[in-house]
Chain A
Amino acid sequence: MIVAVPAEKKSLDSAICVSFGRAPFYCIYDTEKENSTFIENSAANSPGGAGIQAAQNLADQHINAVITFRLGDNAAKVLEAAKIELLQALNLSIADNITNLLEDKLVSLSNVHPGYHNGH
């Protein structure tokens, strides 16, 4: 499967970014090929609807799952419509979260919060 993780830095040692929509990068990890790439999040600078655009971008990339701390309900709607699995991030590095994923230790995301009007 292909997993996306919002990243603070372009490194597997990086912490997972607390914001899904405005994370500077996403780590895209392929569990079969066991490789990772980092893409820039073009939605990070949107005046509004950053979560929606970020989710749209990931949906367009045919991601299967997202590991995140929290998610706004607008972004969640887009990801769910794209049948992308939402997984709860652990307070560890990206690499350690992926290890947990491979060992089937990650649970479904419970932290979906109501949207906020980011930028009028």
Chain B
Amino acid sequence: MATDRIIAVLSGKGGTGKTLVSVNLAACAENATYIDCDTEEPNGHLFLKPTITEQKTIFSEKPVVDQSKCTACGKCVKACAFNALALVGKNLLIFNEVCHSCGLCSAICKQQALVQQQYPIGSVVQGTSKTLQFYSGQMNIGESSAVPIIKELLKKTHEGIVIIDSPPGSGCLVTETIDHADFCLLVAEPTIFGAHNLAMVHELVTLMGKKCAVLLNKTQAGANPSEEYALKHNLKILGSLAYDEHLAQLSSNALLACEEEEQYRQFFSNLLKEVLDASDSHTQR
């Protein structure tokens, strides 16, 4: 039914069910692609159990100094906006962890004493899970930014439906992730925490000019501040998934609800259709 479409699943708040929704939507689609962009704490692989066919190390560039060419003029130290260089006497010290790999120091050195070298920061894997194409990335512990890994994950164009499992929050990792998305599905839980973070991520998505809709997750009796927010801001609500102990247990054991139970297969298939319809009316591909 649908052709190329990139759907990002996000939430602002952590633990609302991004991965639950992403993996089940991806599993219900035919010949789709799933990309896990939560590179600090990736979890999609636990549910989809892919067969990995390719692994690639992701590098960042860091400067290395050739002491024989360095005249200790200090230009690179002054130019570095991140204080990643220090000069003590004739000794140039380089601090990789605060370096942002901008390349300015190497460019500014008149002696060409600074050379950019590859430095591993994480990895990406590619594989398959039944008919699904699977991509995931992981940042090495201790690194500060996963942006280059996310960039690598989203480099390729894929045919068909692409489901992107986004990182939590609304900071730079999220903006990097949703930059190429056609549509954003916002997963919200029924607490004021959830509503507050839904508002933040809604603001971000709007700022970036992305169309979006909401899925209410873990709903239970009583007021739902996230639902109230969505209604108040004319945000389309594509569905509502009730809190259910059995579903929680299935997910805690990383089982795909849509494969374990018919009611969930129906729910996620319908949700997928709703998402594609909602994104259809907004894209001009």
What residues make up the interface of A, taking CB atoms closer than 8 Å to B? 43, 46-50, 52-53, 55-56, 59, 74, 77-78, 81-82, 115, 117-118, 120
Given A49-B95, A77-B95, 13 other A-B contacts at CB below 8 A? A48-B83, A49-B83, A52-B84, A52-B98, A53-B86, A56-B86, A77-B86, A78-B86, A81-B91, A81-B93, A115-B97, A120-B144, A120-B172
What residues make up the interface of B, taking CB atoms closer than 8 Å to A? 77, 81-84, 86-89, 91, 93, 95, 97-98, 100, 144-145, 172
Q: Are A52 and B144 in contact (CB under 8 A)?
A: no
Q: Are A74 and B145 in contact (CB under 8 A)?
A: no
Q: Are A56 and B84 in contact (CB under 8 A)?
A: no
Q: Distance (Å) between the CB of A97 and the closest chain B CB?
A: 25
> Do A82 and B89 contact each other (CB < 8 Å), given the known contacts A117-B144, A120-B172?
yes
Q: State in angstroms the CA–CA spacing of A118 and B93 once bound together.
A: 18
Which 10 pairs, one residue from A and one from B, show the smallest C-beta to C-beta distance? Answer: A49-B83, A117-B144, A81-B88, A49-B98, A53-B83, A82-B88, A52-B83, A56-B86, A78-B86, A48-B82
Q: Are B88 and A50 in contact (CB under 8 A)?
A: no
Q: State in angstroms the CA–CA spacing of A50 and B86 once bound together.
A: 11
Residue of B nearest to A74 (CB): B95
Q: Are B82 and A78 in contact (CB under 8 A)?
A: no
Q: State in angstroms the CA–CA spacing of A49 and B100 once bound together.
A: 11
Q: Are A56 and B97 in contact (CB under 8 A)?
A: no
Partner of A78, one of B81, B93, B172: B93
Residues in B with CB closer than 8 Å to A48 are 82-83, 98
Residue of A nearest to B92 (CB): A81
Q: State in angstroms the CA–CA spacing of A43 and B77 once bound together.
A: 13
Partner of A47, one of B82, B87, B88: B82
Residue of A nearest to B172 (CB): A120
Residues in B with CB closer than 8 Å to A77 are 86, 93, 95
Residues in A with CB closer than 8 Å to B88 are 56, 59, 78, 81-82
Q: Are B83 and A46 in contact (CB under 8 A)?
A: yes
Residue of B nearest to A46 (CB): B83
Q: Are A50 and B89 in contact (CB under 8 A)?
A: no
Q: Distance (Å) between the CB of A71 and the closest chain B CB?
A: 14
Residues in A with CB closer than 8 Å to B91 are 81
Residues in A with CB closer than 8 Å to B95 are 49, 52, 74, 77, 115
Residues in B with CB closer than 8 Å to A59 are 86, 88
Q: State in angstroms the CA–CA spacing of A78 and B86 once bound together.
A: 7
Residues in B with CB closer than 8 Å to A74 are 95, 97-98
- The 20 listed contacts between A and B (C-beta, < 8 Å) are A48-B82, A48-B83, A49-B83, A49-B95, A50-B83, A52-B83, A52-B98, A53-B86, A55-B86, A56-B87, A74-B98, A77-B93, A77-B95, A78-B93, A81-B88, A82-B88, A115-B95, A115-B97, A120-B144, A120-B172
